[in-house]
Amino acid sequence: VEVNITPISSGNGTIAGAVVLLHDVSEWRRLERMRSEFVANVSHELRTPITAVKGFSETLLDGALEDRQTTRQFLQIIHDESERLTHLVTDLLELSKIESGHTVFHHSFADLSKLVERTVSRYIHQAEQVGLSLRAELPPGPVRACIDSDRIAQVLVNLVGNAIAYTPHGEVVVTLTETAEEAVLTVSDTGIGIPAEDLPRLFERFYRVDKARARRSGGTGLGLSIVKHIVEGHHGHVTVESQVGAGSTFRVFLPKQAAEAEEAGE
Ligand code: ADP
């Protein structure tokens, strides 16, 4: 609590009383702490790739350039780290736009089956390269919902990308189902899984179960946080179930109400 005391003078030099203001600053302190933690996280995340780019380019300039193989190897690292920086900055901008409420969602009717198919074909090659099977399980007809297609595509990309990154072998399946009110997107994998104690914090910015592994996988620690914001922007919700060593299942529930209203009007 912050205390503010202002004396009230009686006019003849004596003090007649005082105004005491008590401010409850705990919420303000909490927000302030979150903000500075965020800045510290961002700085740390930016510094890691920058240090690598600087270090490896300096070594090249200092003479390693003479060796062709080393040059190639170091340039590859510099390239990968620059990619990571780009990825990080893109995710940060995206997140800050969504969190500030400045993101306008462009809702329109779309077939979620098509969106799933597109995401799967985008990742199929990458999955095959690491020996994973990636497939979609779709209902026979279209699943129409009123969504911002680009954003929901991003949700799928983030979830499928993670599933591939954290699954050493086995399969990743994207399933689409629907009820009268909702469309449900499920991304399940047979990967490393997530310990129960980490699940409650999983959707927080920069939260990672295994920092070293997540970095190697090229992650920014922002993917799931973006997923949550986008889904909540659609008045939906996202859940996760996981078992260490067995795999994880992420489910995205999206209301279709608007689609129903349109169909009723048709
Ligand atoms: P990152 O960019 O690090 O993948 P995310 O926000 O997308 O960040 O995910 C946060 C953390 O959640 C990851 O670092 C990882 O520890 C864990 N995680 C996410 N998806 C999976 C998954 N399918 N299997 C196992 N762990 C996962």
When comparing pLDDT for 30 and 142, which is higher?
Answer: 142
Distance of alpha carbon 175 from alpha carbon 184, whole angstroms: 8
- 158 burial type by CB count under 10 A (0-12 exposed, 13-18 middle, 19+ buried): buried
**Distance from C-alpha of 145 to C-alpha of 245, rounded to nearest angstrom:** 35
pLDDT category of residue 215 using cuts at 50, 70 and 90: low
Select from 89, 166, 197, 227 the residue to mutate for testing ligand 1; criterion: most ligand atoms less than 8 Å from CB: 166
Residue nearest to atom 13 of ligand 1 (CA): 208
Residue 204 has pLDDT above 70, yes or no: yes
pLDDT at 13 over 90: no
Please report the pLDDT score of residue 217 as a whole number: 67
Could you tell me the two tokens for 253?
């529930």
Q: Which atom of ligand 1 is nearest to the CA of 205?
A: 6
CA 261 to centroid of ligand 1, rounded, Å: 36
Measure 90 CA to ligand 1 centroid, in angstroms: 18
Sign of the Cα pseudo-torsion (195, 92, 119, 124, in order): negative
* Ligand 1, atom 19, residue with closest C-alpha: 162
pTM: predicted TM-score of the whole model, two decimal places:
0.81
Q: Which stretch of 23-27, 82-86, 182-186, 252-256 has the lowest confidence by average pLDDT?
A: 23-27
Q: What is the pLDDT of residue 213?
A: 66
Q: In this structure, what are the phi and psi dihedrals at residue 191, rounded to the nearest 5 degrees?
A: -90, -155
The fraction of the chain above a pLDDT of 70, given in percent, is 94
Looking at the chain, the whole-number percentage of residues with pLDDT higher than 90 is 62
Contact 253, 145 (CB under 8 A): no
Q: Indicate whether 151 pLDDT > 90.
A: yes
* pLDDT above 50 (res 265): no
- ipTM rounded to 2 decimals: 0.98
> In this structure, are residues 135 and 97 in contact, taking their beta carbons and an 8 Å threshold?
no
Question: What would the mean pLDDT of 131-139 be, rounded to a whole number?
Answer: 97
**Whether pLDDT at 210 is above 60:** yes
Average pLDDT over residues 21-38: 83
Which residue puts its alpha carbon closest to atom 21 of ligand 1? 162
Task: Out of 62-76, 106-120, 144-158, 167-181, pick the least confident.
Answer: 62-76
Closest atom, ligand 1, to C-alpha of 203 = 6
Q: Whose CA is nearest to atom 23 of ligand 1?
A: 163
Provide the pLDDT confidence category of residue 258 given band limits of 50, 70 and 90.
Answer: low
- Please list every protein residue whose CB sits less than 6 Å from any atom of ligand 1: 158, 162-163, 166, 189, 191-194, 202, 207-210, 214, 219-225, 248
CA distances from 87 to 151, 166, 219, 222, 262 (A): 16, 18, 9, 10, 38
Q: Which atom of ligand 1 is nearest to the CA of 222?
A: 6
Top-confidence residue, 113 or 263 = 113
Span 72-85, pLDDT tens digits: 999 999 999 999 89
Query: What is the number of helices (H) and of strands (E) in the chain?
Result: 7, 9
**Best of 208, 248, 250, 251 to mutate for ligand 1, by most ligand atoms within 8 A of CB?**
208
For residue 163, give the ligand 1 atom closest to its CA. Answer: 23
Average pLDDT of the residues in 115-120: 97
> Residue 95 pLDDT > 50, yes or no?
yes
For residue 161, give the 3-state DSSP assignment.
helix
- Comparing 17 with 214, the larger pLDDT belongs to 17
Per-residue pLDDT at 264: 41
Q: How far is the CA of 208 from the centre of ligand 1 (A)?
A: 6
pLDDT of residue 224 exceeding 50: yes
Q: What is the mean pLDDT of the chain?
A: 89
* Measured torsion, CA atoms of residues 46, 47, 53, 58, in degrees rounded to the nearest 10: 160
Identify which of 167, 194, 215, 239 to mutate to test ligand 1's pocket (most ligand atoms within 8 A of the CB). Answer: 194
Please report the pLDDT score of residue 148 as a whole number.
Answer: 95
Q: Output the residue whose Cα is nearest ligand 1's atom 2.
A: 219
Ligand 1 centroid distance, CA of 245 (Å): 14
